[in-house]
Amino acid sequence: MNRVFLFGKLSFTPNRLQTKNGTLGATFSMECLDSSGFNNAKSFIRVTAWGKVASFIVAQNPGVMLFVEGRLTTYKITNSENKNTYALQVTADKIFHPDEKTTNEEPIKSTVVDSPFMNPKASVTEAEFEQAFPHQDETDFNNITPIFENDVQLEEESDD
């Protein structure tokens, strides 16, 4: 099972991405505190989102508290010497606002975006499965036009 849960602050304005076929994407960083209780160390974790999840996150401001549910994925980086390296990131499947106001009578209503789990079915078609869990291979990443103006900031913040 490959599931990741993050709770923390959006550390900077998300970078917008767009594939050649027009799919919106976003990269952003989550500032998360160590929950072990041994120290107050912060981690800055790179997250990527696509579709409706990306539309939601690009409208958020730095410092907002978020709960992200997703999965670990790898991405390729080609350096100036044309060598490939790979890095880990979280690909967000759902994003919640943990601080929405509720009444005592109602359960907490989080803002869930683009969740395949909201209306569970006994069976799903192959097309529905592919839409909920898109397969990404190397050719998908060749069609992305990244805008990484804040990646330097991400690297600087993560050196704390």
Domain layout of the chain by residue ranges: 4-150
Q: Is the pLDDT of residue 110 over 60?
A: no
Higher pLDDT, 67 or 103: 67
Task: Give the mean pLDDT of 144-151.
Answer: 49
Question: How does the average pLDDT of the chain come out, rounded?
Answer: 74
Q: Which burial class, exposed, middle or buried, applies to 32 when counting CB atoms under 10 A from its CB (0-12, 13-18, 19+)? A: middle
Please say if the pLDDT value at position 51 is more than 60: yes
The model carries a pTM of 0.60
Percentage of the chain exceeding pLDDT 90: 38
Average pLDDT of span 33-40: 75
pLDDT band at 68 (very low <50, low <70, confident <90, very high): very high
Residue written as token pair 């909920």: 132
Task: Give the model confidence (pLDDT) of 114-139 as tens digits.
Answer: 444 444 444 556 665 555 555 554 44
Task: Indicate the fold that domain 4-150 takes in CATH.
Answer: OB fold (Dihydrolipoamide Acetyltransferase, E2P) (2.40.50)
pLDDT at 39 over 90: no
Residue 40 in this model has a pLDDT that exceeds 70: yes
For residues 28 and 57, the answer to whether their CB atoms sit within 8 Å is yes
List beta partners, residue 25. Answer: 17, 50
